A and B are shown apart, each in its own frame.
Chain A
Amino acid sequence: MNSLKFSEIYFTPDAENLTLSKKIFSLFKSARKIPVASAKELYFAPQNTPEEVTRAKKALFLTVKKNNFIEKCPGTRGHLCCNYFVAKNILGCPADCSYCYLQAYLNTRAITVFANTDDFLRDFERAASRQTIRIGTGEFSDSLLMDDVVNVNKSLIEISSKTNSLLELKTKSADVNNILKLNHRERTVMAWSLNPPELSETEEKDTALPLERINAAARCAENGYPVAFHFDPLIYFEGWEKAYNEIIERLFTEISPEHIAWVSLGALRYDPTIKPVVYSRFPDSKILCGEFIRGDDGKNRYLKYIRMEMFSKIRAMLEKHGQNMQVYLCMESPEIWKQSFGKLPHDIPRLDPIFKTP
């Protein structure tokens, strides 16, 4: 909690007296409390006022979401989908990664917290019980960084333990003390995004060091949790091969492959509207100056030769340590699967749990 500080807390009238709102008001007593009629009062255009993105990380917006807390990841046209479900109880993240798509995607001057936790948990339970799915809270926020504030992970882990679904808590935090001893019944996968330390140092502000993340993962694995790793976004830079190899080697000195539920690989991709925001907020960052081309889906992606090289080499680095891991590509076309992995995911039986539609 020491690291989280919020200078303003906005709230809508329907959220003001909810239990979570009261808890948050008491946690951040010095924050200015500002009533708003609706989220519209907090809207802004990140491309025109990127400094507001920075300010938004220091403010909370407590409101109520009526329904649709759980949505299937819409995937991207022409790309293979891994059938992931996204649980949305928070929109925004206190960490500050230069490449984060949320910078241009979210347009509210605060981290939005849906304070009607009971409704969220009910939706979550319904979705996780109805069918066997992979579902996570780490798409629109970090699954652990805000948990001292919203305190839902304990309930999510408990609900998941009674289903056949898999909850994924995806994070760049290393603080796992609150969840270590929970009865997860291996239905919660603790997942970390990983990049080499030299990249993380400059591009992933306010996050735990990659080696600390690996240590946290090892502690979770010791406590029976399946763990997962997302090499996403992979970033192409001079010396990338050595750097990624080193972090992968380090990963396997701490964690045995049988504890690993899956590893995803995804090359840096971005909506072009994010570029001015990144250039303004991270003037020293060079990551958007790679050889990106405009894909069919309107996103900028590395030229395919770069993606193919990274995917095939990193997969080999990983599989050196175990042939049975579920290594998959995130948001890639069938052609890239074939050219990088030699096969489509549907022809790799061990990927069935991920790619077979539930």
Chain B
Amino acid sequence: MAADFPRDLAEKIEAQKISYGAALSLRFLDETGREAACAFLEELRPSSSLMKEFAQHMVDISKKDGITAGEIIDGLKDITRARSSRKIKTEKVRHALRVRRFPLLTEKENELKDAVKKLSLSQNLSLNYPENMEGKKVSLVIRFKNIAELQKSLDEIKKKSDQLDEFLEIL
């Protein structure tokens, strides 16, 4: 059995303007909120999965911060009104909604990115932290063509062990 949708949303799903996944979240907004959110999503036309993600974030932010969907969308108008491609706008909206939905997570991610930047690892090395920062295990990828390259990378890691420690401290 499918979920119950208000008529306005059911019509949008039927007309394929709003994805089913997005509607599952949007049904928790009031009618004005749904209208604003649908208009926004219809204009931006993100992929179905992004539409679902944006809808979820809008509903959660609306509840968390006690504001309407319209107010959230207003806060994005610098992005949506800019002269840039739909693809770029979509990426920026995605980032902005995520920062607002997960302020501490994005702050910690930025700290980690800064720490990686500070390490200024050579192109043959890349450092990855656990998804969502659960756990403390990181992975270091070393790309090499020969033993000399491998040795060079290992020397670099050894030399930067203090900065690597700083990176690990954040986790």
Contact = CB atoms under 8 A, between A and B. Distances in A.
Interface of A: 45, 47-49, 276, 279-280, 283, 286, 288-291, 293-296, 303-306, 333, 335
Interface stretch (B42-50, B129-137, B142-150): B129-137
Of all A-B residue pairs in the complex, the 3 with the closest CB atoms, nearest first, are A293-B132, A289-B64, A289-B60
Nearest to B65: A289
Contacts of A296: 134
Interface string B49-65: 00000000001110110
A333 B135 CA distance: 8
Interface residues of B, number: 21
Contact of A291 (B2, B24, B103, B136): B103
Given A289-B64, A291-B102, A303 B132 contact: yes
Which of A45, A280, A303 is most buried by chain B, counting CB atoms within 10 A of its CB? A303
Contacts of A303: 102, 104-105, 108, 132-133
A291 B104 contact: yes
Interface string B92-121: 000000000011110010000000000000
Contacts, number: 50
B15 interface: no
5 contacts: A48-B4, A294-B132, A295-B134, A303-B133, A335-B136
A84 B60 CA distance: 35
Contacts of B102: 291, 303
B1 interface: yes
Nearest to A283: B28
Main secondary structure of the interface of B (DSSP, over half): helix
A280 B141 CA distance: 46
A296 B3 CA distance: 28
Nearest to A293: B132
Given A286-B63, A291-B105, 7 more contacts: A48-B3, A283-B28, A289-B60, A291-B102, A304-B134, A305-B108, A333-B135
A245 B2 CA distance: 44
A305 B1 contact: no
A304 B63 contact: no
B132 A279 contact: no
Nearest to B66: A286
A304 B134 CA distance: 7
A117 to B, nearest CB: 35
B134 A333 contact: yes
Contacts of A276: 3, 24, 28
Nearest to B135: A335
Contacts of A306: 104
Contact of B28 (A47, A279, A295, A335): A279
Interface in B72-108: 102-105, 108
